[in-house]
Amino acid sequence: MIASSSPVELVIFDCDGVLVDSERIAVRVQREVGARLGWPLSEAEVVRHFIGRSHAAGWQVVAERLGAEAAAEWEQRFEQRHRELVDAELAPVDGIVEALAGLGLQSCVASSGSHAKMRHTLGRTGLYEHFEGRIHSASEVARGKPAPDLFLHAAQRMGYPPEACAVVEDSGPGTRAARAAGMRCFGYTGGPTGVEALAGDGTVLFSDMRELPALVHGI
Ligand SMILES: [Mg+2]
């Protein structure tokens, strides 16, 4: 059971699907590339294999299925098309700007993505300045989500114990990582990941980002 008697002092935000509305684009592109390269995937399959995990973990799944050469091509096609659509369409997650303005607590980012990718997506959506200097990537730790390493690392760098932290996540690996870190977890259900993949002990599910400040403050 996760301790929740003390107030939240630090809110750790996942990036993709929580701050920037990139998961819909990612799902779409994975399906496009899969259909081209001989592995047609449903939306649920894309979510299961790729969303909330490191790139390396995703490409490993492709390599096991289609071989290393096809996985390399998959990655190249995905990156190119994803970048095109991010540049053309990426927006902040609905309600996140209001949520950040209303939070009134220290916050940071902890994402499976690289620093370069976050600079691009957070910059594209006008959120980079809000988090500059408080952005943590899975590239800084040994094990990505669902291991707790990244959230524990972010909390330590920010100077807070796990019990003072809350995590906002939209993926199964992410909510599992938050629970494994002993942190309170808020699972955002407004994206492509199903509710059942986010649910777990002590996890508060919510579908409107504007509700986040009140939920974190326990109002
Ligand atoms: Mg995410």
Could you read off the pLDDT of 124-145 as tens digits, one per residue? 999 999 999 999 999 999 999 9
How far is the centre of ligand 1, averaged over its atoms, from the C-alpha of 52 (Å)? Answer: 5
How far is the C-alpha of 150 from the C-alpha of 181, rounded, in Å?
9
Which CATH number, 1.10.150.120, 3.30.420.40, 3.40.50.1000, 3.90.650.10, labels domain 10-21+91-216? 3.40.50.1000
218 alpha carbon – ligand 1 mean position (Å): 23
pLDDT score of 53 = 78
Q: Ligand 1 centroid vs 2 CA: distance in angstroms?
A: 21
Task: Report CA(118)–ligand 1 centroid distance (Å).
Answer: 12
Pick among 3.30.70, 1.10.150, 1.10.600, 3.40.1000: CATH of 23-89: 1.10.150
Q: What tokens appear for 133 in the block?
A: 């200097």
Band (pLDDT 50/70/90 cuts) for residue 5 is low
Helices (H) and strands (E) in the chain, counts: 11, 6
